[in-house]
């Protein structure tokens, strides 16, 4: 059926449903229909965590594990981080579980994502999840005081979704994928707002489409401070990282 990794997926399904032939058959049929493996299993592996996933909320991806790692490299003990566009809360939970932040504020514009992120973050009292557009309504005492802003925003344009794999096209929510007509509108808002929240020397890290990451770095240089590009697991230019001057 065009599933790119049939062996691996079959192993996961046998592991999860192998005791129940009917359940296994149903799970295989769902995968044949190109439903994402993680939605069938109900969980996604993300760094050291098993994150609950649900239909209607973006499934976290391996490249974003690298983004979380880049943020953790810059997160000292007691730091404050903001993660707009949190989805399942995977990045925020990783910061809390692997680092020692005093506070991680995660936001999402989608109530279903907020509910799931709160559920996934239930073991980490340092994580608070807000239903908000980017930074809207966050504690204004944090203006100019945040150490790290890390974000995997929607960054595709509609034409890219049209040619994406069925797992993406038919299952990830449109507003999790598409960052506006050009694909770059959410990132433009993020880059413009981030410096108001960051302390001098604070970091902003953004996942982006490889075709637009240079544009994001140039905007970060303008609004935030010195910026550079980091590669994903396959060597593609994927992350824009900047330090507030
Ligand atoms: C690409 S998904 C990333 C989710 C998660 N950070 C991850 O890496 O798995 C983007 C998320 O941003 C949310 N979103 C889209 N526009 C937003 C906005 N303006 N403010 C806050 N969240 C937004 C979507 O609901 C979705 O959950």
Contacts of 140 (CB under 8 A, 6+ apart): none
pLDDT in tens, 14-43: 999 999 999 999 999 999 999 999 999 999
Give the residue among 236, 232, 217, 223 at the shortest CA–CA distance from 193.
223
How high is the pLDDT of residue 83? 99
Tens-place pLDDT, residues 63-90 = 999 999 999 999 999 999 999 999 999 9
Cβ 82 vs Cβ 138: under 8 Å: yes
User: pTM to 2 decimals?
Assistant: 0.98
Q: In order of start, what are the domains of the chain with their CATH numbers?
A: 56-243 (3.40.50.150)
Report how far ligand 1's centroid is from the alpha carbon of 62 (Å).
Answer: 16
How high is the pLDDT of residue 159? 98
Per-residue buried b or exposed e for 218-235, using 16+ beta carbons within 10 Å of the residue's own CB: ebbbebbbebebbebeee
pLDDT category of residue 126 using cuts at 50, 70 and 90: very high
The residue whose C-alpha atom lies closest to atom 17 belonging to ligand 1 is 109
Looking at residues 6-10, what average pLDDT do you find? 96
Pocket of ligand 1 (CB under 6 A): 58, 60, 64, 84-88, 90-91, 107-110, 113, 133-134, 152-154, 175-176, 186
Nearest CA to ligand 1 atom 12: 85
| Per-residue model confidence as pLDDT tens digits over 183-230 | 999 999 999 999 999 999 999 999 999 999 999 999 999 999 999 999
pLDDT, mean of residues 158-182: 97
How high does pLDDT run on average in the chain? Answer: 98
Q: What is the DSSP letter of 142?
A: G
Position 193 scores a pLDDT of 98
Which whole-number Å values give the CA distances from 240 to 150, 157, 214, 229, in the listed order? 10, 18, 8, 5
């Amino acid at each position: 059926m065009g599933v790119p990794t049939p062996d691996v997926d079959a192993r996961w399904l046998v592991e999860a449903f192998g005791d129940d032939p009917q359940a296994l058959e149903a799970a295989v049929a769902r995968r044949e229909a190109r439903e994402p493996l993680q939605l069938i299993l109900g969980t996604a592996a993300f760094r050291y965590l098993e994150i609950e996933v649900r239909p209607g909320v973006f499934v976290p991806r391996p490249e974003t594990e690298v983004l979380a790692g880049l943020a953790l490299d810059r997160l000292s003990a007691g730091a404050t981080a903001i993660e707009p566009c949190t989805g399942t809360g995977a990045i925020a939970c990783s910061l809390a579980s692997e680092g020692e932040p005093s506070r991680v504020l995660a936001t999402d514009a989608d109530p279903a994502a907020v509910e799931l992120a709160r559920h996934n973050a239930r073991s980490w009292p340092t994580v608070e999840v807000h239903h908000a557009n980017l930074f809207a309504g966050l504690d204004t005492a944090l203006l100019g005081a945040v150490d790290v802003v890390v974000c995997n925003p929607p960054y595709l344009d509609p034409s890219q979704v049209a040619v994406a794999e069925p797992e993406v096209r038919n299952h990830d929510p449109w507003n999790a994928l598409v960052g506006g007509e050009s694909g770059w509108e959410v990132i433009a808002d993020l880059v413009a707002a981030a410096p108001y929240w960051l302390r001098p020397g604070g970091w902003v890290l953004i996942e982006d489409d490889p075709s637009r990451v240079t544009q994001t770095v140039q905007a970060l240089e303008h609004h935030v401070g010195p910026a550079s590009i980091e590669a994903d697991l396959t060597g593609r230019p994927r992350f824009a990282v900047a330090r507030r001057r």
